[in-house]
Structure 1
Amino acid sequence: MKIYFYTGPQCSLCDLADIELARTSRFSSLTIEKVNIRNSTELYHLYGARIPVLKRDDNNKEIGWPFSAADLEEFLQ
């Protein structure tokens, strides 16, 4: 499964989200593409106040911070 990880430079919340993502049991089966929202005006307007956000490629569902490893497990089912 492919996940987009919307992030930004020097984002401490994104660092915390990355740790939670690494704790999920499905981590090894994920393809994670980190996307710096500052590289796109459109993404910056969509996610600037919400990062970190994870978005599934298969169904476009999103989960925003704060989330736990348990929340991620449910999101990835």
Structure 2
Amino acid sequence: MLELTLYGTLGCHLCDAALAELAPLANTVSIRQVDIADSEALMARYQLRIPVLQRSDTGAELDWPFDLPQLMDWLADHLREEG
């Protein structure tokens, strides 16, 4: 199963919206949430971009805003492999 990392922070309503967009893919991907407030390096990198999704297989990142069709396109190669 492909792991996606969702970079965000507590109280981020956009991060909650991103999780809602990911819900239909729950059987296809696993989601690891990382709070950027726990790391100065992550804050410097993602502070103005959250929420951001990152693929574990390629390292590719997808910045908000995104919706389910965009997620499906971004994950198309993985979804084809899963059949």
TM-score for both structures, normalised by structure 2: 0.85
Structure possessing the higher radius of gyration over alpha carbons = 2
Tell me what 1:51 maps to: 50
Tell me what 2:5 maps to: 4
Coordinate RMSD, CA, aligned: 0.9
Tell me what 1:29 maps to: 28
Aligned residues: 75
Give the C-alpha shift of residue 51 in structure 1.
0.3
- Give the partner amino acid of 1:74: D
* 2:34 corresponds to 1:19: no
Unaligned runs of 5+ in 1: none
Q: Secondary structure at the match of 1:44?
A: helix
Task: Answer 1 or 2: higher relative contact order, Cα 8 Å, separation at least 6.
Answer: 1
Tell me what 2:38 maps to: 39
Moved over 4 A (4+): none
Unaligned runs of 5+ in 2: 77-83
In structure 2, C-alpha distance between the alignment counterparts of 1:39 and 1:10, rounded to whole Å = 14
